[in-house]
Structure 1
Amino acid sequence: MPATGLTGARWLKSRRSNSQGNCVEIAELPGGHIAMRNSRHPEGPALIYTRPEIEALILGAKDGDFDHLIASSSN
């Protein structure tokens, strides 16, 4: 779905976002779904997820499930 079609969405990004704007933004949608978009391309596509999908992603990140992705990008 184009992010521009999500009128009224309040987009948020992490406080850890870097100054170049390379980050993911999220917005809560009516009905409880969550939208994600690339902050560098706010007019581009938005991916829509359910709350359980977002919860699994956040909890997985907190548990370190994706730490190998950060370690490999710094090499």
Structure 2
Amino acid sequence: MTADSPRWFKSSYSSNGGDCVEVAANIPGVVPVRDSKDPHGPALAFDPPAWSSFVSAVKGGEFSA
């Protein structure tokens, strides 16, 4: 693994059999996100402020059904 290789992790709330997203927070200037069921597939890339805004909105219940 090189210094630029993403170190992927899942939320500690992920307990549904692995159907989760994974996030890597060790890449400067970008937050990559991928499907945990397809680790060799594509990843989405977000700039850190956009990712922080999304996480805050989720925590605030903005996307609740």
Which residue does the alignment assign to 1:63? 60
> How many residue pairs align between the two structures?
62
Indicate how the Cα distance of structure 1 residues 19 and 66 shifts in structure 2: closer, same or farther if over 3 A, else same: closer
Identify the match of residue 26 of structure 1 among 23, 28, 31: 23
Q: 1:31: Cα distance to partner?
A: 2.5
Identity of aligned residues (%): 35
Point out where structure 2 has 5 or more consecutive residues left out of the alignment: none
Amino acid at match of 1:32: G
Q: 1:62: Cα distance to partner?
A: 1.2
> TM-score scaled to structure 2, two decimals?
0.84
Point out where structure 1 has 5 or more consecutive residues left out of the alignment: 1-6, 69-75
Distance in 2, Cα, partners of 1:38 & 1:45: 8
Amino acid at match of 2:14: S
User: 4+ residue runs of structure 1 moved beyond 6 angstroms?
Assistant: none
Higher-RCO chain (CA-CA 8 Å, sequence separation at least 6): 1
- The more displaced of 36-45 and 12-21 is 12-21
* Bigger proportion of residues as helix: 1
